[in-house]
Amino acid sequence: MTCSMSRKGDCWDNAVVESFFASLKREECNGAAYLTRDLARRHVFAYLEQFYNRKRRHSYLGYVSPAEFEAQHPASLKRIA
């Protein structure tokens, strides 16, 4: 695996991750104050497994959910793994 590092101040390497965390904060957490870390973990896990990967449409995937994309393109996923 080759590490990709850009110059100082160039944010393109982190754009996908930053977009994900912005969605997580906006759609799930929205300023919530969790009583325990375990409760926060469970909420984030539920968001990922029940909404983000199953129902939420992603512009990068042609406005379908990751689950729908996998069902439509099983051959393209074999190359990634």
Q: What is the DSSP string of 37-58?
A: HHHHHHHHHHIIIIIITTT--B
**Cα-Cα-Cα-Cα dihedral of 7, 12, 13, 16, to 10°?**
160
Whether pLDDT at 36 is above 90: yes
* Mean pLDDT value across residues 30-39: 90
Residue-level pLDDT at 39: 93
Neighbours of 63 (CB within 10 A): 9
Residue-level pLDDT at 38: 95
Cβ contact 81:70 at 8 Å = no
Residue-level pLDDT at 41: 93
Whether pLDDT at 67 is above 80: yes
pLDDT band at 69 (very low <50, low <70, confident <90, very high): confident
Q: How far apart are CA 71 and CA 49, in angstroms?
A: 16
